[in-house]
Amino acid sequence: MATTNDIKNGTVLNLDGQLWNVIEFQHVKPGKGGAFVRTKIRNVLSGKVVDKTFNAGLKIETATVDRRDYQYLYQDGEDFIFMDTQDYDQITVSAAVVGDAVNFMLENQNVNIALHEGTPLYLELPASVILEITYTEPGLQGDRSSAGTKGATLETGYEIQVPLFVEQGTKVKVDTRDGSYLGRVN
């Protein structure tokens, strides 16, 4: 058992038999009344995000979550196969657990998988990844970086918006949280 003072980003709480991942938290000490902790938590299985407030010092149950490095090997139908980088054991992760991460994963890429009692809960990708643009319309003469954006398809099949000067075959840095273009890579 832990208390609300132990809450921090990434903590997994066991509330009413369901696992919730803490996205944001804030300790609040109002001038009048008792202190409390305001949190934004995500249901690990459904992905639903809710705001929850706990009184300060309240006992809460945390879940033991093992975060380990895995290497993405290949997709097998709806499932994804990953290999533990330490003991080379392979695990199968469902498409529901992988979620939007599939848009930014290439084979042999390292990811962090959170496990609870051997069951994969969610994937953590690096904050940004470098991917190649496989298709985009050619830019027009005179296009500049501040002129606007156009659609571009990445090597994973995901489509993002890039500046007009970016061409097919260019390697770009992409934010894995929202799929935004961060810049070109040489």
Residue 169's domain comprises 128-185
Q: Quick one: 49 and 12 in the same domain?
A: yes
Question: Residue 30 contacts by C-beta under 8 Å, 6 or more apart in sequence?
Answer: none
Question: Residue 109 contacts by C-beta under 8 Å, 6 or more apart in sequence?
Answer: 71, 72, 129
Q: Which pLDDT does position 48 carry in this prediction?
A: 87
What sign results for the dihedral spanned by CA atoms 170, 174, 178, 182? negative
CA distance 4 to 11: 11
Average pLDDT over residues 21-29: 91
Kindly report the average pLDDT of the chain as a whole number.
88
Q: Quick one: 9 and 39 in the same domain?
A: yes
Q: Which pLDDT does position 4 carry in this prediction?
A: 87
Task: Express each pLDDT in 94-127 by its tens digit.
Answer: 888 888 889 999 899 999 998 888 888 888 888 8
Average pLDDT over residues 137-163: 79
Q: Quick one: 73 and 118 in the same domain?
A: yes
Q: Quick one: 72 and 108 in the same domain?
A: yes
What sign results for the dihedral spanned by CA atoms 41, 46, 47, 49? negative
CA distance 29 to 88: 48
Contact 131, 156 (CB under 8 A): yes
Q: Quick one: 91 and 117 in the same domain?
A: yes
Q: Which pLDDT does position 122 carry in this prediction?
A: 82
Instruction: For the chain, give the percent of residues with pLDDT over 90.
Output: 46
Q: Quick one: 74 and 102 in the same domain?
A: yes
Q: What amino acid occupies position 71?
A: Q
How many structural domains does the chain have? 3
Q: Which pLDDT does position 146 carry in this prediction?
A: 58
Q: What is the CATH number of the domain that holds 116?
A: 2.40.50.140
pTM of the model: 0.71
Q: With bands split at pLDDT 50, 70 and 90, how would you rate the model's confidence at 69? A: very high
